[in-house]
Amino acid sequence: MKTSRSSNAVSPQSRTADGRDSILRHLFTVSRPHQWSKNLFVLAPLLFSRNLGDPGALANACIAFACFCLASSAIYVVNDIQDANADRLHPLKRLRPIAAGGLSPAMAWMWAVLLTAGSLALAQSLGVQVLALCGTYLILMLGYCFHLKRVVILDAILIAGGFVIRVAGGAAAIAVAPSHWLIICAFLLALYLAFAKRRQEMLTLSDAVGHRSALSAYTLPFLEQVNTILLAALLLSYALYTVAPETIARCGTDLLVYGTLFVLYGLLRYLHLIQTAGNGGDPGKLLVSDKPLAATVAGWTVYNAAIIYRAEVMRFLERLF
């Protein structure tokens, strides 16, 4: 009697489809979509310039947001290619597709090129200034990936500089001049998060220097002092921004200053979270995973929008009721 083929046999077509799905999942993962929340900095000029109700400005700001999402993903891919050996020493990063061997460096390079091309195409659609800022961001971050991340202090400053470029790109996309205070606040916030992450890595990694060579030049007391200074400077700068004459003139009120409470709680909440080793030091992941932190950011956004656009909100409510 002939034995029938096992019903569990997998056809070549199924194996091919599974392999394709696996590659797509790895490409999606290596792009780090959970980090796209950092590109919300691009939308800050839209909110504070009172252009949120302008459909054209809103569309351009969203395109700029997508542009920097693609650009940052391209940089993450390049960084993972460069750091594959070091990532294998990290308890979590060793699971990344390239470090774990699920995605080949050649495939990753092709994906990085495609992401970069998409980013530059979106930037070009918004004008020369946005294209120049996007190009500057890519060049700056590539320099960080290949060498500058090994230079103590400069490594964190470059990361903060990338956030400033995001803010400038968002402003250029809607043809407004970014406030100097907004630039300062964005820079200080990014710098604080970068140094806080360095401190967390030194506390939680058994081979922190092997994972990130620049950490050999840092000490925990130094990083704690830096974070204290940056936290105080950020809170003071934000409070001064909300009561600056230009801000009051644009918004017609000084009520934005009370939004400092959201900023204070959010920063202290983040500081509290990174005291626990299991939480890591990645603000992008914490923003997605920690409900109080996410609610704080949402509350800050809603409060500021309500104050800045209070006239529009009142007119809407009058029509509604």
DSSP per position, 161-215:
HHHHHHHHHHHHHTT-PPPHHHHHHHHHHHHHHHHHHHHHHHHH-TTHHHH-GGG
CB 68 within 8 A of CB 36: no
**pLDDT 10s digits, 134-189:** 999 999 999 999 888 888 899 999 999 999 999 999 999 999 988 889 899 999 99
Q: What is the mean pLDDT of the chain?
A: 85
- What is the arithmetic mean of pLDDT over 299-309? 91
**pLDDT tens for each residue of 237-261:** 999 999 999 889 888 889 999 999 9
Does residue 267 carry a pLDDT above 50?
A: yes
* pLDDT at residue 4 is higher than 90: no
Alpha helices in 88-179 (DSSP H): 97-100, 105-125, 128-146, 154-173
Rounded Cα gap, residues 64 and 69, in angstroms: 9
Burial of 65 per CB tally in 10 Å (0-12, 13-18, 19+): buried
Residue 76 predicted with pLDDT over 90: yes
Cβ atoms of 99 and 84 closer than 8 Å: yes
What is the C-alpha to C-alpha distance for residues 96 and 78, in angstroms, rounded to an integer?
13
- As a whole number, mean pLDDT of residues 60-89 equals 92
State pTM to two decimals: 0.82
pLDDT of the residue at 102: 85
The average pLDDT across 105-117 equals 94
Provide the residue count of the chain: 321
Let me know: does 85 contact 133? Beta carbons within 8 Å: no
The answer on pLDDT for 16 being more than 70 is no
The three-class DSSP label of residue 220 is helix
Give the rounded percent of residues in the chain with a pLDDT score beyond 90: 47
Residue 7 has a pLDDT of 45
How far apart are the C-alpha atoms of 291 and 297, rounded to whole Å? 10
Rounded-to-integer distance, Cα 158 and Cα 140, Å = 7
Amino acid found at 158: L
- pLDDT bin (cut points 50, 70, 90) of residue 213 is low
Q: What is the pLDDT of residues 18-67, one digit of tens each?
A: 556 688 888 988 999 988 988 999 999 998 888 888 899 999 999 999 99
Q: Is the dihedral of CA 217, 283, 46, 73 positive or negative?
A: positive
Rounded to whole angstroms, the maximal C-alpha distance in the chain is: 93
DSSP characters over 5-59: PPTT---HHHHHHHHHHHHHHHHHHHT-GGGGGGGGGGGHHHHHTT-TT-HHHHH
Q: Does 10 have pLDDT greater than 70?
A: no
Confidence of residue 128 (pLDDT cuts 50, 70, 90): very high
